[in-house]
Chain A
Amino acid sequence: MTTTRTTRAPSTVAGGVGESTLRPDGIAKLKGEFDYAQDLRAENMLWGATTRSPHVRARIVSVDIAPALAVGGVHAVLTAEDVPGRGAFGLEHADQPVLASDEVRYWGEPVAVVAAEDEDTARRAAAAIEVEYEVLDPLVDPLVAESEDEVFRRMRIRRGDQETEGAVIVEGYYEVGMQDQAPLGTEAGLAVPDGHGGVDLYATSQFVHIDHSQVVASLGLRPEQVRAHPTGIGGAFGAREDVNLHIHLCMLALHTGQPVKMVYDRAESFTGHVHRHPAQMWYRHHADENGRLVRVEARIVIDGGAYASTTSAVLANACYFAVGPYRCDSVLIDGVGARTNNPPCGAMRGFGAVQVCVGYEAQMDKLAARLGIGPLELRKRNGLATGDHMPTTGQRIETPMPVADVIDSLAAMPLPGQDDEAPLPGGSGLTTERDQVRRGVGYALGIKNLGFSEGSDDYAVVRVRLTGDGAVVETAAIEVGQGLVTVLAQIARSALGVGRAEVRHVDTSRIGSAGSTSASRQTQISGGATLEASQRLRERILDRHDGDDLTDLGVVRDGEVVVPMAVLTTESWEETVTFRHPPTEPPDDDGQGVVHADFAVAGHRAVVDVDPELGLVTVVRIDTAQDVGKALNPESVRGQIEGGILQGVGLAVMEELIMDGGVIRNPTFTDYLLPTILDAPDVEALLIEQDGSWGPFGAKGVGEPPTISSTAAVIAAIRDATGKEINRAPVRPQDIAL
């Protein structure tokens, strides 16, 4: 219908973008009434448990399940031969056995699963299975693996003149240990058979559609026979992108015909999910006498463990961001994702960009020291800006790249005074007195891609409906605590002009994929879909009813309500949008191309107090400036920044899975140390908002940038306090004191 009527932009509604709207599930969580996967139950529910390999590498000679079947109350004991469909799963390659059959390749690899009347019985039955192993020599050194061509991927980046050399050259070797995501909620799930050969799965996850496709493949079912439901989850940070108990649960449910629940305990959780890749890096930075980077060479080896998971993408990320947010026209990066018998490694917040930042920021400080240039000044001289080319891929940067603003902001933030109230190193252990402390200050910048890369078809489907309850945003995009359910509703409110809006999760049968809750992508991509769907819905409503505005009252024309909301919502109004970010491409053989969808930069300044004689560290304060595009919910952004920074602090001074010949020595909270409230530094965050990103209202993802350079900044501060050349994360007391 032709019209010359112009529609008004939506009026500002309460609870729209830019506000620190309170999260809709907050009250339930505070009252202990929010259902997590571990809280679900069903009638006639059985409990599942897993039999795991006690060996790092072994051939399976025989599996005797009779002792388990003989335990009273056991309903099913399943092994590899009971897998109805594809025997393996995996995010990049389906190389990981659902249940091991010929060989176990890492400590704790699942060999069998059991369903029983109660959890205790299930665990006892799982322990009763007799597996005969022929123990084999494990391969646990990634450098040896590389030399034997046991690799998931080799990566090569060559950009610019490879003969260039700089007037000043600094070299260094750096290591990052294995960090764990350690979300407080462990892996948990409930699978409910539907009585017709299909199953409903409610499990901890970051990406229900990919769980669905792997369950379908391994169970040999038709897609419509499996429904994966977004379920309450106690954090993720990358640990839940891969399948862990999903296929096992569905197998047990279909085999027994009863609902089956499984919850990993903490040690099993450490064993049962992927970890951050340990990394070894050799760097050579060339600069001119003004500190401008002339050439960067790096060799990066990450240990992918026994199965592929996302090692290929993590390695790629590490290599693409191995120079950092700096200009450089001559680059050589060689990367290896090694295959060993260590536990499989995969996604953890930061995804490869964290490890290399420890290396390149140490190198930048070395250059600064060698040239007598201040650390921030050196970075300013080299910082990328919009219109520059990424040093590694050559990609022209089209969206905001406010490295200079980040640096200037950090420099302007006041340093704390010597605060006699700040906890001394050693805390209540009373090891240290004020005059035994040296204070240090360190800086680091980091860069991360947003969204998936290298030509991935990265999209999200969202449906927005206008109902008698207000706007409903339907999605399968997972909420892990980051506040997606808050911000999608805010976007819908602002775009529709309607104040009542909520997000409802629906399962894989009811909506298309939203992709993974990872890569800092959901606000931009599911948010982008929500924005577009809301805008289109509003246009269609106004077009249909010849209105110029939509508000909570209904359709408005010339200031009058012409269709009250109650009437409007008797009609069916919905819009489903698949939102894709600007396309990316796979790299050429030299790693060149428009590989990434968007970038975010952040800078951190760490202030630490160190007791050099005992090597104990207190992180006093971290100031940060972060490129966020547009803060759709400032308090949520601050929460992501403070939480991410503390994970970075953990990697800097206390978090490491200690491996011993492929066995994890500390799979407990007693000995895998997470920062407590007494370890948390004061944090001041400055949000840098610049237009230009393709995210809704210009928003950029904010979850990962806080983890990229916070670790490197703390290490730099420790170096400043001690004068020691620390080259690893985490820094242990003996690295400082001895």
Chain B
Amino acid sequence: MASGAVPVAGGTDLMVEANFGHVRPENIVGLRRVEELREWDGRRIGAAVTWRRLERDGPQALAQAARTVGSPQIRNAGTIGGNLATASPAGDGHPFLAAVDARVELVSPAGSRAVAWDEFFTGVKRTSMAEDELISAVLLPEDLPDRHEFGKVGVRNAMVISTVCAVVTRRDDGRTTVGLGSVAPTPIRARQAEEMISSIGSPSGADLAEFARLVSAETTPISDHRSTEEYRRHAAGVLSRRLLERCLR
């Protein structure tokens, strides 16, 4: 913030940094109980809406993603806005936002503006927010796709940072989108795979295999202590194919 104050809602990311002395904010802006930020009006989800509420009431793929965030304790405190502000490439909520072309509403003394998700994320843990801006809401499009499915690959059945996570959406007219996390510095869409499969009304097994191959090819994952580049590529393709198969049922 321009004043140097640090915004905090659930604290589930900021406090980790503070506890290890990486940040020592002198001033904070407490957003946890700001009523307007907790409002959820149809397609406009306030930034301070918790994962707990999203788990219960969110659109399917977002609710599915919410269920995998951290633990019950984390979901009670963590918010969709906080997840965006941290902008981790592995953020569980991001693939959905990418897949439905959500926008992020930002507010500042000068007013408010909405940026497309792919303008919002600019790099690993980097966003295009100005210093004096706060995330006020996430804006979903009015017409969400008919089908959307989420999946997250992790080595443990709870409390795990995703190795790969994905949302696939499909409309009745065939239009398909694929949002992916943990396979690039920011969440991405697999546009070539989308283009290929969107024009096929009833994809065959071979089509689905090609779809998976294209998804893999569009990822740029790294190898780190959690997984390898090779596995992430492979898992992105497999996961996306399976999510699409569910959408096609």
Indicate if A touches B (C-beta under 8 A): yes
Tell me how far the C-beta of A650 lies from the nearest C-beta in chain B, rounded to whole angstroms: 10
Instruction: Please tell me if the beta carbons of A733 and B225 are within 8 angstroms of each other in the complex.
Output: no
Q: Tell me the chain A residues, 679-726 only, with Cβ under 8 Å from chain B.
A: 679
Do A616 and B158 contact each other (CB < 8 Å), given the known contacts A430-B64, A738-B230?
A: no
The contact of B153 among A431, A653, A660, A676, by CB within 8 Å, is A431
Residue B152 lies at the interface, judged by CB distance under 8 Å to chain A: yes
Do A734 and B157 contact each other (CB < 8 Å), given the known contacts A613-B238, A666-B225?
A: no
Residue A670 lies at the interface, judged by CB distance under 8 Å to chain B: yes
Residues of A contacting B235 in the complex (Cβ-Cβ under 8 angstroms): 614, 733, 737
Most chain A beta carbons < 10 A, residue from B21, B153, B239: B153
Residues of B contacting A430 in the complex (Cβ-Cβ under 8 angstroms): 64, 149-152
Residue A84 lies at the interface, judged by CB distance under 8 Å to chain B: no
Residue B186 lies at the interface, judged by CB distance under 8 Å to chain A: no
Residue A91 lies at the interface, judged by CB distance under 8 Å to chain B: no
Interface residue tally for chain A (C-beta within 8 Å): 39
Residue A678 lies at the interface, judged by CB distance under 8 Å to chain B: yes
The contact of B152 among A429, A618, A675, by CB within 8 Å, is A429
Q: Tell me the chain B residues, 217-239 only, with Cβ under 8 Å from chain A.
A: 224-228, 230-231, 234-235, 238-239
Closest partner residue, chain A, to B150 (CB atom): A430
Residues of A contacting B227 in the complex (Cβ-Cβ under 8 angstroms): 732-734
The contact of A734 among B20, B160, B161, B231, by CB within 8 Å, is B231
Instruction: Please tell me if the beta carbons of A734 and B230 are within 8 angstroms of each other in the complex.
Output: yes
Separation of A37 and B49 alpha carbons in the complex (Å): 39
Residues of B contacting A677 in the complex (Cβ-Cβ under 8 angstroms): 158
Separation of A330 and B159 alpha carbons in the complex (Å): 48
Residues of A contacting B158 in the complex (Cβ-Cβ under 8 angstroms): 427-428, 676-679
Residues of A contacting B21 in the complex (Cβ-Cβ under 8 angstroms): 120, 123-124
Closest partner residue, chain B, to A430 (CB atom): B151
Separation of A732 and B232 alpha carbons in the complex (Å): 12
Separation of A658 and B224 alpha carbons in the complex (Å): 10
Instruction: Please tell me if the beta carbons of A428 and B156 are within 8 angstroms of each other in the complex.
Output: no
Residue A661 lies at the interface, judged by CB distance under 8 Å to chain B: no
Q: Tell me the chain A residues, 402-441 only, with Cβ under 8 Å from chain B.
A: 423, 426-433, 436
Residue B163 lies at the interface, judged by CB distance under 8 Å to chain A: yes
Do A658 and B155 contact each other (CB < 8 Å), given the known contacts A428-B67, A428-B68, A614-B235?
A: no
Residue B171 lies at the interface, judged by CB distance under 8 Å to chain A: no
Residues of A contacting B126 in the complex (Cβ-Cβ under 8 angstroms): none
Q: Tell me the chain B residues, 107-166 only, with Cβ under 8 Å from chain A.
A: 149-163, 165
Separation of A738 and B238 alpha carbons in the complex (Å): 12
Do A678 and B231 contact each other (CB < 8 Å), given the known contacts A429-B152, A614-B238?
A: no
Separation of A737 and B233 alpha carbons in the complex (Å): 12
Instruction: Please tell me if the beta carbons of A431 and B226 are within 8 angstroms of each other in the complex.
Output: no
Instruction: Please tell me if the beta carbons of B238 and A616 are within 8 angstroms of each other in the complex.
Output: no
Tell me how far the C-beta of B8 lies from the nearest C-beta in chain A, rounded to whole angstroms: 19
The contact of A654 among B68, B153, B156, B230, by CB within 8 Å, is B156
Instruction: Please tell me if the beta carbons of B161 and A429 are within 8 angstroms of each other in the complex.
Output: no
Instruction: Please tell me if the beta carbons of B68 and A429 are within 8 angstroms of each other in the complex.
Output: yes
Residue A134 lies at the interface, judged by CB distance under 8 Å to chain B: no
Residues of B contacting A678 in the complex (Cβ-Cβ under 8 angstroms): 157-158
Residue A673 lies at the interface, judged by CB distance under 8 Å to chain B: yes
Closest partner residue, chain A, to B66 (CB atom): A428
The contact of B157 among A433, A618, A658, A737, by CB within 8 Å, is A618
Do A670 and B155 contact each other (CB < 8 Å), given the known contacts A429-B68, A733-B235, A737-B231?
A: no
Tell me how far the C-beta of B229 lies from the nearest C-beta in chain A, rounded to whole angstroms: 10
Do A431 and B242 contact each other (CB < 8 Å), given the known contacts A426-B153, A733-B227?
A: yes
The contact of B154 among A429, A665, A675, A737, by CB within 8 Å, is A429
Separation of A267 and B224 alpha carbons in the complex (Å): 18
The contact of A675 among B156, B225, B231, by CB within 8 Å, is B156
Closest partner residue, chain B, to A677 (CB atom): B158
Separation of A670 and B165 alpha carbons in the complex (Å): 17
Closest partner residue, chain A, to B19 (CB atom): A265
Instruction: Please tell me if the beta carbons of A670 and B161 are within 8 angstroms of each other in the complex.
Output: yes
Residue A457 lies at the interface, judged by CB distance under 8 Å to chain B: no
Instruction: Please tell me if the beta carbons of B225 and A737 are within 8 angstroms of each other in the complex.
Output: no
Instruction: Please tell me if the beta carbons of B155 and A654 are within 8 angstroms of each other in the complex.
Output: yes
Instruction: Please tell me if the beta carbons of B153 and A679 are within 8 angstroms of each other in the complex.
Output: no
Instruction: Please tell me if the beta carbons of B234 and A738 are within 8 angstroms of each other in the complex.
Output: yes
Residue A671 lies at the interface, judged by CB distance under 8 Å to chain B: yes
Separation of A187 and B14 alpha carbons in the complex (Å): 25
Residues of A contacting B159 in the complex (Cβ-Cβ under 8 angstroms): 676
Instruction: Please tell me if the beta carbons of A671 and B157 are within 8 angstroms of each other in the complex.
Output: no
Residues of B contacting A670 in the complex (Cβ-Cβ under 8 angstroms): 161
Tell me how far the C-beta of B98 lies from the nearest C-beta in chain A, rounded to whole angstroms: 18
Instruction: Please tell me if the beta carbons of B151 and A431 are within 8 angstroms of each other in the complex.
Output: yes
Separation of A676 and B68 alpha carbons in the complex (Å): 14
Residues of B contacting A433 in the complex (Cβ-Cβ under 8 angstroms): 242
Separation of A428 and B228 alpha carbons in the complex (Å): 22
Instruction: Please tell me if the beta carbons of B152 and A431 are within 8 angstroms of each other in the complex.
Output: yes
Instruction: Please tell me if the beta carbons of A733 and B152 are within 8 angstroms of each other in the complex.
Output: no
Q: Tell me the chain B residues, 1-50 only, with Cβ under 8 Å from chain A.
A: 20-21
Tell me how far the C-beta of A714 lies from the nearest C-beta in chain B, rounded to whole angstroms: 14
Residues of B contacting A737 in the complex (Cβ-Cβ under 8 angstroms): 231, 234-235, 238
Do A673 and B160 contact each other (CB < 8 Å), given the known contacts A428-B68, A616-B153, A665-B225?
A: yes
Separation of A267 and B16 alpha carbons in the complex (Å): 13
Closest partner residue, chain B, to A730 (CB atom): B155
Instruction: Please tell me if the beta carbons of A423 and B157 are within 8 angstroms of each other in the complex.
Output: yes
Tell me how far the C-beta of A291 lies from the nearest C-beta in chain B, rounded to whole angstroms: 36
Closest partner residue, chain A, to B153 (CB atom): A431
Tell me how far the C-beta of A365 lies from the nearest C-beta in chain B, rounded to whole angstroms: 24
Separation of A123 and B225 alpha carbons in the complex (Å): 27
Residues of B contacting A432 in the complex (Cβ-Cβ under 8 angstroms): 242
Separation of A679 and B154 alpha carbons in the complex (Å): 12
Instruction: Please tell me if the beta carbons of B157 and A733 are within 8 angstroms of each other in the complex.
Output: no
Separation of A124 and B24 alpha carbons in the complex (Å): 12
Separation of A292 and B140 alpha carbons in the complex (Å): 68
Do A733 and B155 contact each other (CB < 8 Å), given the known contacts A428-B67, A671-B161?
A: yes
Residues of A contacting B160 in the complex (Cβ-Cβ under 8 angstroms): 429, 673
The contact of A671 among B149, B226, B230, by CB within 8 Å, is B226
Tell me how far the C-beta of A400 lies from the nearest C-beta in chain B, rounded to whole angstroms: 38
Residues of B contacting A732 in the complex (Cβ-Cβ under 8 angstroms): 155, 227, 231
Residues of A contacting B226 in the complex (Cβ-Cβ under 8 angstroms): 671
Instruction: Please tell me if the beta carbons of B234 and A429 are within 8 angstroms of each other in the complex.
Output: no
Tell me how far the C-beta of A489 lies from the nearest C-beta in chain B, rounded to whole angstroms: 36
Closest partner residue, chain A, to B67 (CB atom): A428
Separation of A252 and B137 alpha carbons in the complex (Å): 52
Tell me how far the C-beta of A726 lies from the nearest C-beta in chain B, rounded to whole angstroms: 15
* Other contacts beyond A428-B152, A429-B165, A430-B152: 17, CB < 8 A: A120-B21, A267-B20, A426-B157, A427-B157, A427-B158, A429-B153, A429-B154, A429-B162, A431-B151, A432-B242, A614-B153, A614-B239, A615-B231, A654-B155, A673-B155, A678-B158, A732-B155
A-B residue pairs in contact (CB < 8 Å), sample of 5: A429-B68, A653-B155, A660-B225, A734-B230, A737-B235
Which A residues have a C-beta under 8 Å from some C-beta of B? Answer: 120, 123-124, 265, 267, 423, 426-433, 436, 613-616, 618, 653-654, 658, 660, 665-666, 670-671, 673, 675-679, 732-734, 737-738
Which B residues have a C-beta under 8 Å from some C-beta of A? Answer: 20-21, 64, 67-68, 149-163, 165, 224-228, 230-231, 234-235, 238-239, 242
Ordered nearest first, which 4 A-B pairs have the shortest CB separation? A427-B157, A429-B152, A678-B157, A665-B225
